[in-house]
Amino acid sequence: MAVGGGISAGNGKQYEGRVTPFVIVACLVAATGGLIFGYDIGISGGVTSMDEFLQKFFPTVYEKQKNATGHESQYCKFENHMLTLFTSSLYLAALVASFFASATTRKFGRKISMTVGGMIFLVGSVLNGAAMNVAMLIIGRILLGVGIGYANQSVPVYLSEMAPPKLRGALNIGFQMATTIGIFAANLVNYGTAQMKANGWRVSLALAALPALIMTIGALFLPDTPNSLIERGKKDQAKEMLQKIRGTPNVHDEFSDLVDASAVSQQVRHPWRTILEPKYRPQLVITCLIPLFQQLTGINVIMFYAPVLFKTLGFADDASLMSAVVTGLVNVFATAVSIVVVDRFGRRVLFLEGGIQMLACQIGVGVLIASVFGVSGNGTFSKGMGNLALALICVYVAAFAWSWGPLGWLVPSEIHPMEIRSAGQSINVSVNMFFTFVIGQLFLSMLCHMKFGLFFFFGGWVLLMTVFVYFFVPETKNMPIEEMNRVWKAHWFWGKYIPDDAVGLSHKSSDHDA
């Protein structure tokens, strides 16, 4: 058995049922939660490269850029902490909110969290569109962050619980797909509003209300997951729901497993303390490391700052925004690839291939920038060199989009037993948001100080995470979510943490259907 291989999917239980249109529609609606997340990621980079926006809120950055003599380092053109705080404050708020979301999601259900998230986000987008000063701008961003904390905490769990095991990967990636569509939409909007004579940035920021409306209204109509209904003592409703989403009255086995899992979960009063117990060590470690690594791929350097980065590389304003549109499109298409293959080839193949591809591109971009700008930061990219850099960045984005992008959300949402699922997902969201914040906040300074070395820095992390996946992340494809302990138990390293009785759980003969 390969080191991280886990057990083969064939060992997992097969439940009855088919993929019903009902479950697909529910998952599509829920996945729109990703739209608000993506729109935000994509919008701020473009807005912060618009002159009118800079003049109004960050006049010093504007002056610095405008008066650049051409002798200064290209690497430092945009360094300004208030400017980066605009981008990254959102992620700090999301971090804090995800902890509140955990309790809401557990006590009131996944859909309430989604509705709450959508509404708060809506208020934030109105504030941002109407912003008169930096304070309004940042408060708006914080509200957007709270909305995202709620959505990112609840949507991936919702999707993983609704989906039949065989399609869990594909349906869960609907969230990431919506995220990339949100980013791409934002790139397009920025490209359009940058042509406006005035207030283009306002339109860009206010349009965030659109995905928020879609998500809030969508969430109101969503059914709750059977897992969550059982968790809240509504067994009959849960069974009906399960029959509906699986398209068969014969849901005995799956329902019985859900009830068993929930019984264990009910005994847990303090999920936060519980998740620290040794038997949950594999989940805890993976849930902390996956989002950390996802951010250390360096993806958000491209997502947040692509227009700024391309400007630094000497592209004109228009060309910079256009390049962001190109990377945005690559992101969407490559995510679609992962939807098709994730349940067939599994998570590990994608992680490993994506890692190698990203590393190769990062080395390529680093070498290219070093050869043009060197250490001094003086120089200009020729058209050919610029296009080569853009091509390498696209290949890198594609690799991320079929590996760490979707898997960074999928894997943590499917590895936790019910009793620690909400807590585990909050850790995932908060670690992700924290490092999104760190990178958002530090990137422009890092570029200024580490220069082309920044690309090698992220490359080093990608190497490390690829080795980590090889040894420590087991394959989870096709394994029913409430049976996941079998995967850990069979793992060469994590197996020793899982007590024997944790694996026999689902084979009790008690009849919970009555």
How many other CB atoms are there within 10 angstroms of residue 125's CB atom?
27
Contact flags string 439-478 toward ligand BGC, x per CB under 6 A:
----------------------------------------
Residues near 318 by beta carbon (within 8 Å), at least 6 away in sequence? 194
- Helix axis angle for 317-345 and 168-193, nearest 10°, is 170
For residue 509, the minimal CB distance to ligand BGC (Å) is 41
Angle at 85 between CA 79 and CA 87, to 5 degrees: 95
Cβ proximity to ligand BGC: between 23 and 94 the closer is: 94
Piece of the chain touching ligand BGC by CB under 6 A; list 99-107, 174-182, 341-349, 492-500: 174-182
Q: Which residues within the stretch 333-372 sit at the binding site for ligand BGC (CB under 6 A)?
A: none
Dist. CA 337–CA 341, nearest whole Å = 6
Piece of the chain touching ligand BGC by CB under 6 A; list 5-13, 114-122, 137-145, 295-303: 295-303
Cβ proximity to ligand BGC: between 87 and 436 the closer is: 436
Piece of the chain touching ligand BGC by CB under 6 A; list 46-54, 177-185, 218-226, 343-351: 177-185
Piece of the chain touching ligand BGC by CB under 6 A; list 127-135, 403-411, 451-459, 493-501: 403-411
| Site for ligand BGC contains 300 (CB under 6 A) | yes
Q: Nearest residue to ligand BGC, using CB?
A: 303
Half-sphere exposure (Cβ direction) of 166: Cα atoms closer than 13 Å: 10
For residue 297, the minimal CB distance to ligand BGC (Å) is 9
Instruction: Find out whether 435 and 118 touch, Cβ atoms under 8 Å.
Output: no
Q: What sign does the CA torsion over 5, 8, 9, 13 have?
A: negative
| Site for ligand BGC contains 331 (CB under 6 A) | yes
Burial class from Cβ neighbours inside 10 Å (0-12, 13-18, 19+) for residue 463 reads middle
Nearest by Cα to 180 from 12, 58, 331, 22: 331
Cβ proximity to ligand BGC: between 40 and 79 the closer is: 40
For residue 461, the minimal CB distance to ligand BGC (Å) is 14
For residue 387, the minimal CB distance to ligand BGC (Å) is 23
| Site for ligand BGC contains 303 (CB under 6 A) | yes
| Site for ligand BGC contains 41 (CB under 6 A) | yes
For residue 436, the minimal CB distance to ligand BGC (Å) is 5
Interacting residue with ligand BGC among 4, 211, 408, 440 (CB under 6 A): 408
Cβ proximity to ligand BGC: between 122 and 296 the closer is: 296
Dist. CA 485–CA 476, nearest whole Å = 10
Dist. CA 329–CA 185, nearest whole Å = 9
Cβ proximity to ligand BGC: between 115 and 331 the closer is: 331
Dist. CA 508–CA 501, nearest whole Å = 11
Q: Which residues within the stretch 183-222 sit at the binding site for ligand BGC (CB under 6 A)?
A: 183
Interacting residue with ligand BGC among 101, 163, 299, 358 (CB under 6 A): 299
How many other CB atoms are there within 10 angstroms of residue 216's CB atom?
22
For residue 303, the minimal CB distance to ligand BGC (Å) is 4
Q: What's the DSSP call for residue 222? A: P
Piece of the chain touching ligand BGC by CB under 6 A; list 119-127, 134-142, 402-410, 418-426: 402-410
Dist. CA 242–CA 256, nearest whole Å = 11
| Site for ligand BGC contains 180 (CB under 6 A) | yes
Instruction: Find out whether 18 and 248 touch, Cβ atoms under 8 Å.
Output: yes
Dist. CA 514–CA 503, nearest whole Å = 24
Interacting residue with ligand BGC among 87, 128, 426, 432 (CB under 6 A): 432
Instruction: Find out whether 301 and 41 touch, Cβ atoms under 8 Å.
Output: no
Q: What is the 3-state secondary structure (H, E, C) of 223-266?
A: CCCHHHHHHCCCHHHHHHHHHHHHCCCCCHHHHHHHHHHHHHHH
Instruction: Find out whether 466 and 348 touch, Cβ atoms under 8 Å.
Output: no
| Site for ligand BGC contains 405 (CB under 6 A) | yes
| Site for ligand BGC contains 436 (CB under 6 A) | yes
Q: At which residue do the structure tokens 């109407």 appear?
A: 130
Q: Which residues bind ligand BGC (CB under 6 A)?
A: 41, 176, 179-180, 183, 294, 299-300, 303, 331, 405, 408-409, 432, 436
